[in-house]
Amino acid sequence: MRKRKVEIEAYVSPYNRQLDCTNLTFYDSTLRDGEQMAGLSFTPEQKLEIARMLDEMQVPQIEVGFPACSETERKAIKKIVSEKLDAKILCLSRIVKEDLDHAIDCGVDTALLFVSCSDIQILNSHVKKEEIAKKVEFSVEYLKKHGIKPSFSTMDSTRGDISLQIELFGIALRAGARRLGITDTLGCISPDSFQILVSKIKEKINSFGYGQVGKEIELSVHCHNDFGLALANAISGIQAGATAVATTTMGIGERAGNVPTEQFVMAMKYLYGIDLGIKTEYFSKLAKKIARFAKLKIPPNAPFVGSNAFAHESGIHVQSVLSQPFSFEPVSPEVVGNRRKIILGKHSGTAGLKFALSRIGLELSDDVMKKVLEEVKKQGEKKGKVSYKDLIKICKEVS
């Protein structure tokens, strides 16, 4: 279908509650957490191309990698840094001096420090809790001394001891960090419980006397999707006071992945009234590029960027959409760089068939059209989708 100028972008529920969060931001971690998807590796050239596109879309912060991973990784990060993009460049770092030196050498704007806070992970790492506190303090001070903004997050926050987390956040603040993070590393907390957890931690952070979350202090949430609740948890985190969210394109990442960038941005803009300033029309193009680089197939039903996100076959739906697209579409496909598709198959009706015939330049009598539709439905039952090539053949045989 031809591209058209979009006058009204969306038609969503009038019952949506708007969020009051003027300083909300997000950081796209496709090049770090996204790349940690099992079996996935971007080349330095691919990383640079993706970073450029994210920057062109006006993504405010891009987490570009984990410098300690390899020399190739460090070269890729340095190349992206040398591009002097508008986006702030972030990298991941453990609280060990070697990692810190790599981050400093790469010249990133912010290093995302992390440490496990759950008993199961701490025991498995063979590091004593007393040592963790000292390392957090050293790492934050060391980064600040070398001109790198430190961000400190607890890993496995949703299974960890809240007292330990609050203690570590206090140490990080005292050492000079003004960005802290809560992580649902295993994606194993419910949205209502996450909201309570983030609220409690925020309250304690505000009580330390180093500033308030949302003003002097940033509070980020990093949510995984193991129970399919990453986006819901991110939104709950924001409702509790978080001011930054980690995302990846299409939600790719470890195990079941992360908060999908496109879904988060669209939900914020059209459901919660927060426009993050992203050029959303790039979403489909970006998804295709990353899928090609990663040798992945975009799920057809992926919201906004999937091939079926704006595809219609059912006769009732097609008839309505051709007359008024918002009858069965909450947003216009052009908004995310996708396109509407009218599919022929088992569920097709006269409206869909007439549309398809117009696309291939055929006009049929009502009697012939009825026979063609019957055959379309039969073939749809056998193979699902009926192509235009199939339709032309059917028309010739019926006529």
- Taking residue 226's Cβ as centre, other Cβ atoms within 10 Å add up to 16
Look up the pTM and report it.
0.94
> What is the percent of the chain with per-residue pLDDT over 90, rounded to a whole number?
93
218-223 and 344-345: which strand pairing? unpaired
The span from the CA of 89 to the CA of 381, in Å, is 51
The amino acid at 50: I
Total count of residues recorded for the chain: 399
Q: Tell me the domains of the chain and their CATH numbers.
A: 25-294 (3.20.20.70), 311-398 (1.10.238)
The span from the CA of 194 to the CA of 200, in Å, is 10
**What is the structure's pLDDT at 129?**
78
**What is the structure's pLDDT at 2?**
45
**What is the structure's pLDDT at 126?**
63
**What is the structure's pLDDT at 7?**
67
Among the listed residues 389, 280, 350, the one whose alpha carbon sits nearest the alpha carbon of residue 56 = 280
Beta bridge partners of 223: 184
* Run means of pLDDT, 10 residues per run, the chain, 399 residues: 63 95 95 97 98 98 97 98 98 97 98 94 78 96 98 97 96 98 98 98 98 97 98 98 98 98 98 97 98 97 98 96 96 98 96 95 92 95 94 91
